[in-house]
Chains A and B, each alone.
Chain A
Amino acid sequence: MAADSLDVLRLPVVPVEPRPRFADALLRQIAAAEAGGADPAAVRADPAGLRDNPTVRYFVSDLDTAVAFYRGRLGFEEELVSAPGFAMLYRGGLRLLLSVPGVAGAGAPLPDGSLPSAGGWNRITLQVTDIAGTVEALRTAGVRVRADVSTGFAVRQALIEDPSGNLVELIEPAAGYHERT
């Protein structure tokens, strides 16, 4: 092929600022992805990830199902989903990270070979205003209730399960309830 009349089409890279909304969202997503995994170097390199939001990580067997559950049933907002292994949700000041065991990042096996798994006794506690009504609505929606509403110390409480078997505790303040003001 003779060289080459089409060489005039050469198009150098001219920087173009993307729309600010897109740029901000992407940079946030990058920071979150760097903070989202288990790599300690990435956490150290990302001070933006060291916020005050209390953060809890749950292991879930299916990401889409889990995100749908926390959004649809418990009022979480989706911040980002990085399929197949990671999602970040917010509810008020609580940041909830969801990781799928076996997927790189927090879901990766530990050095001793053990794999994270869903379940266990530790749980997040969400405060609600009408615990009886909430639990009944969740039960009707097919959510598994592990412990029905009971009276504890200064709260009424119940335990439900997410689709992967992680516990979520619901509480409604009762007489004598204390919280730092």
Chain B
Amino acid sequence: MGGQRELSTPDPVAAIYRRALPHVYGYLLPRCGSVTLAEDLTAETFMAAVAATRKPDGPELTVAWLVGVARHKLADHWRRSVREQRTAALAAEPDDTLDDPWNEWLDTEAAYAALRRLNAYQRAALTLRYLDGLPVADVAAHLGRSLMATETLLVRARAALRGVYKEERDGC
């Protein structure tokens, strides 16, 4: 009898996945800037979630937790692409990292466009730090770097962003 009742109850696990899907995809899409990549990472996120919740001490399944998994998948993606183009990424870093002045007025669309043109590590660091608002220590954890290395990376990434941003804003 109990089994019968269970079968006719809507499946809570399926419901949470269904509800979380637009949130996970909505997190990934603007940060990826690519539908294909956003879909791939969304699928990775959910399949990882299914695997994690099958374990005996699995996490509680919430939208916030799934978005967190998506953030890890995105960071992992960028780390993979860094490994694939490490030399290019290092060569592309500009040198003028000491002062970091921004106009008080920032054209955010131009800044997002500029962000997409940075190398993967810089893009990852700035996305996690500013778009997601993570503390530097959390950025470091997602990227598998030390706190100091992450601070340096952020300084350089800001400088690189500023260079590209000027081009974007001035329509070059």
Contact = CB atoms under 8 A, between A and B. Distances in A.
Interface stretch (B5-13, B79-87, B88-96, B141-149): B5-13
Interface stretch (A21-29, A111-119, A145-153): A21-29
Given A29-B43, A42-B54, A46-B11, A9 B131 contact: yes
A13 B26 contact: yes
Interface string B42-71: 110011001100100000000000010000
A110 interface: no
A11 B26 contact: no
Contact of A30 (B8, B22, B47): B47
Nearest to A5: B102
A11 B31 contact: yes
B29 to A, nearest CB: 5
A27 B47 CA distance: 10
Contacts of A7: 130, 133
B13 A45 contact: yes
A6 B158 contact: yes
Bin chain B's interface residue count. 35 or more
16 contacts: A1-B100, A1-B155, A1-B158, A4-B130, A5-B102, A6-B102, A6-B126, A8-B108, A9-B130, A13-B23, A14-B26, A15-B26, A16-B25, A18-B21, A18-B38, A26-B43
Interface residues of A, number: 37
A18 B23 contact: no
A2 B54 CA distance: 44
A87 interface: no
Interface string A111-132: 0000000000000000000000
